[in-house]
């Protein structure tokens, strides 16, 4: 139909160069001109399709017309109520008058009620006895005739007064209609072949791409969204930070131990047994299992001694030592617990202990950089430098709010070498943070039980216009390193930061619960941008 219609429009234009009134067209398959609104809407569709190809131009004309209502349509077919009443009555004197009850049965309640009054008024019928009879043998049903005219033309010669009366009687309603004047367009042709929207394999095969016309592409429209998976934004940042470490020559530490003992999480790090971090308020302790197996007895003794009595040049904490506190199992509060374990392993050779498969295990190909070169190997004390990192989950028994969860990721770096200096640590931190896009950093002296000196790292936040703390760092204390067996000239730098903080800044997130945990929106994950520090 639509193609035939388009062809009709084009052929008519070809023949007459213009179509003055589309209501005069006779649509394909129809006998009458397309005077109805429905026809004009059909024509409009065809016109728009041709217009989009610049084959025609058209103007729209609006017209008000009338159409019968459902009741009007019934009158159109069956006559008015009064005519129907009149038609069922006998002519006066030629039969029994029809009683009101009989009338209702014959024409229905509604028609009997309305028609009876109007027929009297028109003088068509009269009362006879207890019924009604016809007064006239012929009548002219004006209402039906008017409706027929309206149905055919949309209007009435009789004029507005009669129309208004019919509207009042709810037999017709007013309706807005359209018709069109059509002219040839710049690309007028009588061919309705559609332009192509895409280049297809068929076109390549047949070569039709050479002669086809192509529809203009709408460059303002959006592309079709992709279907596909997505990685979690926090882990995208993790990968980026992991890459920074790898770019700087760090080996990844195993951290697969969420459960630690008080010994490894605190004692080995020279955190006093009465330190507030060890409170039930801050640390998750385990109820099952409760206690660790004993660590290496010699090492344990060295650690407990330095706490209780001092040694290695330190006064120690000189506070009572509790074995129970040391053996308590807990969820690690920092990955430094894992670092401590790794450093203990790194010092194995210094302690004169053999570690299985240790050939090349601790050196990862590096040689000492103490500057003494060969000499070191002659009196080899077993130490090899190491740069280690980890990014993994830690647990704090915190009350949760917008910026704190009971678990978060800690980024941790460790550098162990002979004669490392505080200046090296600061210089290294500047490079590390500049690789994360943080250029302005400064360092504040701070307290941390296992590092001395300890430095808090502050970065200038341009949006907040102030310095904000971004991490902690320091040189591990001799009280931690020497009981492990490290030679005195070995210094170990350590630093840590949370993974969540830079991620929240990167993605402009204020509530950590929208980043980590099961309340995170899957859609948010699907739409979070890539990370490139």
Partner 1 sequence: MPTVAVDKADLWERLGHEYTTDEFDKLCFDYGLELDEDTTAEVEEAIKKGLPAERPQLKIEIPANRYDLLCIEGIARGLRIFLQKSAAPVYKLVYPLGGESNLLTVTVNPETSTIRPFFACAILRNIKFTPRSYASFIDLQDKLHQNICRRRQLVAIGTHDLDTLTPPFRYEARPPKDIKFAPLGKDKAYTAEELMVLYESEKHLSKYLPIIRDSPVYPIIYDAKDQVLSMPPIINSDHSKITLSTRNVFIDVTATDQTKLDIVVNIVSTMFSEYCDEPYTIEPVKVILANGQTRISPDLSGRYMTAHPSYVNSCTGLSLSATEVSTLLQRMALTASVSPSSVDEINVHIPPTRPDILHECDIMEDAAIAYGFNNLPDKFPTTSTVAQPLAISKLSDVIRNEWAFAGWVEVLPLILCSHEENFEWLNHEDDGNTAIKIANPKTLEFQVVRTSLIPGLLKTIRENRSHALPIKIFETSDVVFKDVSRERQARNERHAAAVLCNKSAGFEIVHGMLDRAMKMLEIPRIGNDDLKAETGYYIKETSDAMFFPGRAATIFYRPVPANKSTISSIKHDIQTALHVNSDLKIGTLGILHPTVLEKFEIGFPCSALEFTLEPFKKQMQKVWTNED
Smallest distance from partner 1 to CB 375, Å: 17
Smallest distance from partner 1 to CB 323, Å: 15
Stretch in the footprint of partner 1 (CB under 8 A) among 27-35, 130-138, 168-176, 437-445: 437-445
Binding mask 487-516 for partner 1 (x = CB under 8 A): --x-x-x----------------------x
Smallest distance from partner 1 to CB 517, Å: 5
Is the Cβ of residue 76 or residue 515 nearer to partner 1 in the bound state?
Answer: 515
For the record, the structure tokens of 16 come out as: 């007459």
Helix/strand/coil for 73: helix
What count of Cα atoms within 13 Å lies in the side-chain half-sphere of residue 159? Answer: 1
Q: CA-to-CA distance for 339 and 335, rounded, in angstroms? A: 6
C-alpha closest to that of 451 among 205, 251, 274, 269: 269
Position among 37, 261, 304, 410 found at the interface with partner 1 (CB under 8 A): 261
Position among 16, 105, 215, 444 found at the interface with partner 1 (CB under 8 A): 444
Position among 415, 459, 505, 531 found at the interface with partner 1 (CB under 8 A): 415
Q: CA-to-CA distance for 489 and 257, rounded, in angstroms? A: 30
Scored b (16 or more CB within 10 A) or e, 146-158 reads bbebbbeebebee
Smallest distance from partner 1 to CB 397, Å: 6
Indicate whether 142 belongs to the interface with partner 1 (CB under 8 A): no
What count of Cα atoms within 13 Å lies in the side-chain half-sphere of residue 353? Answer: 14
> Cα 290 to the chain's mean position, in Å?
44
Angle at 365 between CA 360 and CA 367, to 5 degrees: 105
Q: CA-to-CA distance for 126 and 145, rounded, in angstroms? A: 24
Indicate whether 288 belongs to the interface with partner 1 (CB under 8 A): yes
**How many C-beta atoms surround the C-beta of residue 111 within 10 A?**
22
Stretch in the footprint of partner 1 (CB under 8 A) among 12-20, 80-88, 126-134, 280-288: 280-288
Return the axis-axis angle of helices 37-52 and 2-16, rounded to nearest 10°. 80
Is the Cβ of residue 455 or residue 497 nearer to partner 1 in the bound state?
Answer: 455
Stretch in the footprint of partner 1 (CB under 8 A) among 26-34, 76-84, 122-130, 318-326: 318-326
Is the Cβ of residue 49 or residue 255 nearer to partner 1 in the bound state?
Answer: 255
What are the backbone angles phi and psi of residue 26, rounded to the nearest 5°?
-105, 115
Q: CA-to-CA distance for 21 and 138, rounded, in angstroms? A: 41
Smallest distance from partner 1 to CB 207, Å: 38
**Residues that contact partner 1, how many (by CB under 8 A):** 125
> What residues numbered 221-240 form the site for partner 1, per CB under 8 A?
227-232, 234-235, 239
Total length of the chain: 533
Position among 100, 117, 487, 517 found at the interface with partner 1 (CB under 8 A): 517
Smallest distance from partner 1 to CB 419, Å: 6
Indicate whether 189 belongs to the interface with partner 1 (CB under 8 A): no
Is the Cβ of residue 170 or residue 444 nearer to partner 1 in the bound state?
Answer: 444
Smallest distance from partner 1 to CB 531, Å: 14
Indicate whether 316 belongs to the interface with partner 1 (CB under 8 A): yes
Class of residue 130 by CB neighbours under 10 A (exposed 0-12, middle 13-18, buried 19+): exposed
Smallest distance from partner 1 to CB 485, Å: 17
Indicate whether 455 belongs to the interface with partner 1 (CB under 8 A): yes
Beta strand 172-184 with 56-68 is antiparallel
Is the Cβ of residue 184 or residue 513 nearer to partner 1 in the bound state?
Answer: 513
Name the strands in the sheet holding 18-19, side by side, starting at the edge strand that comes first in the sequence: 18-19, 172-184, 56-68
Binding mask 463-492 for partner 1 (x = CB under 8 A): ------------x-xxx---------x-x-
Is the Cβ of residue 90 or residue 310 nearer to partner 1 in the bound state?
Answer: 310
Residue whose structure tokens are 């099952």: 288
Is the Cβ of residue 153 or residue 372 nearer to partner 1 in the bound state?
Answer: 372
Q: CA-to-CA distance for 420 and 369, rounded, in angstroms? A: 10
Indicate whether 410 belongs to the interface with partner 1 (CB under 8 A): no
Smallest distance from partner 1 to CB 511, Å: 14
Scored b (16 or more CB within 10 A) or e, 176-202 reads ebebbebeebeebeeebeeeeeeeeee
Stretch in the footprint of partner 1 (CB under 8 A) among 84-92, 139-147, 149-157, 279-287: 279-287
Position among 10, 139, 171, 329 found at the interface with partner 1 (CB under 8 A): 329
> What residues numbered 341-400 form the site for partner 1, per CB under 8 A?
341-342, 345, 357, 360-362, 364-367, 369, 385-388, 393, 395, 397-400
Class of residue 378 by CB neighbours under 10 A (exposed 0-12, middle 13-18, buried 19+): exposed
Indicate whether 252 belongs to the interface with partner 1 (CB under 8 A): yes
Indicate whether 405 belongs to the interface with partner 1 (CB under 8 A): yes
In angstroms and rounded to an integer, the radius of gyration of the C-alpha atoms of the chain is 48
If you write DSSP's letter for every residue of 115-146 in order, what string do you get? HHHHHHHTT-EEEETTEEEES-S----HHHHH
Is the Cβ of residue 94 or residue 287 nearer to partner 1 in the bound state?
Answer: 287
Please check whether residue 163 is in contact with residue 68, taking contact to mean a CB–CB distance below 8 angstroms.
Answer: no
> What residues numbered 19-58 form the site for partner 1, per CB under 8 A?
none
Indicate whether 325 belongs to the interface with partner 1 (CB under 8 A): no
C-alpha closest to that of 387 among 421, 346, 358, 348: 346
User: Cα torsion for 391, 394, 399, 403, to the nearest 10°?
Assistant: 0
Indicate whether 427 belongs to the interface with partner 1 (CB under 8 A): yes
Q: CA-to-CA distance for 313 and 311, rounded, in angstroms? A: 5
Indicate whether 140 belongs to the interface with partner 1 (CB under 8 A): no
Position among 122, 292, 336, 472 found at the interface with partner 1 (CB under 8 A): 292
């Amino acid at each position: 139909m639509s193609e035939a219609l388009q062809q009709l429009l084009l052929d008519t234009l070809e023949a007459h160069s213009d179509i003055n009134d589309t209501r005069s067209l006779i649509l394909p398959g129809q006998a009458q001109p397309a005077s109805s609104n429905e026809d004009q809407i059909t024509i409009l569709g065809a016109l728009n399709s041709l217009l989009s190809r610049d084959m025609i131009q058209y103007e729209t004309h609006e017209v008000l017309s009338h159409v019968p209502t459902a009741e009007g349509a019934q009158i159109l077919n069956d006559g008015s109520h009064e005519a129907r009443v009149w038609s069922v009555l006998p002519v006066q004197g030629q039969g029994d008058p029809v009683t009101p009850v009989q009338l209702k049965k014959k024409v229905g309640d509604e028609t009997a009620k309305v028609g009876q009054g109007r027929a009297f008024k028109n003088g068509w019928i009269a009362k006879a006895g207890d019924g009604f009879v016809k007064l006239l043998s012929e009548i002219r049903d004006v209402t039906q005739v008017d409706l027929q005219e309206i149905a055919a033309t949309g209007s009435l010669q009789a004029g507005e007064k009669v129309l208004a009366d019919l509207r009042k009687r709810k037999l017709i309603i007013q309706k807005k209609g359209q018709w069109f004047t059509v002219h040839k367009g710049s690309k007028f042709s009588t061919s309705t072949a559609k332009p192509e929207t895409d280049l297809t394999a068929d076109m390549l095969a047949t070569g039709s791409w050479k002669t086809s016309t192509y529809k203009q592409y709408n460059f303002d429209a959006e592309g079709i969204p992709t279907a596909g998976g997505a990685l979690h934004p926090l882990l995208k940042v993790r990968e980026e930070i992991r890459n920074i470490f790898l770019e700087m020559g760090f080996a990844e530490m195993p951290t697969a131990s969420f459960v630690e003992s008080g010994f490894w999480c605190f004692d080995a790090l020279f955190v006093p047994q009465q330190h507030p971090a060890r409170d039930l308020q801050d640390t998750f302790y385990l109820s099952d299992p409760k206690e660790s197996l004993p660590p290496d007895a010699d090492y344990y003794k060295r650690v407990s001694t330095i706490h209780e009595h001092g040694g290695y040049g330190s006064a120690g904490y000189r506070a009572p030592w509790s074995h129970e506190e040391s053996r308590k199992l807990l969820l690690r509060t920092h990955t430094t617990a894992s670092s401590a374990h790794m450093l203990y392993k790194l010092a194995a050779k210094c302690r004169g202990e053999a570690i299985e498969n240790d050939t090349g295990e601790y050196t990862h190909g590096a040689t000492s950089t103490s500057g003494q070169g060969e000499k070191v190997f002659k009196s080899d004390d077993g130490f090899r430098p190491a740069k280690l990192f980890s990014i993994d989950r830690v647990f704090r028994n915190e009350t949760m709010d917008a910026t704190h969860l009971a678990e978060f990721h800690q980024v941790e770096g460790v550098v162990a070498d002979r004669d490392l200096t505080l200046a090296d640590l600061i210089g290294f931190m500047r490079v590390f943070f500049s690789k994360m896009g943080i250029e302005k950093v400064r360092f504040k002296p701070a307290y941390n039980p296992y590092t001395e000196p300890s430095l808090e790292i502050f970065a200038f936040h341009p949006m907040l216009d102030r310095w904000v703390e971004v991490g902690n760092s320091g040189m591990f204390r001799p009280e931690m390193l020497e009981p492990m067996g490290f030679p005195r000239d070995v210094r170990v730098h350590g630093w840590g930061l949370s993974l969540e903080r830079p991620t929240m800044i990167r993605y402009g997130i204020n509530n950590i619960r929208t980043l980590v945990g099961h309340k995170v929106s899957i859609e948010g994950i699907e739409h979070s941008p890539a990370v490139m520090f």
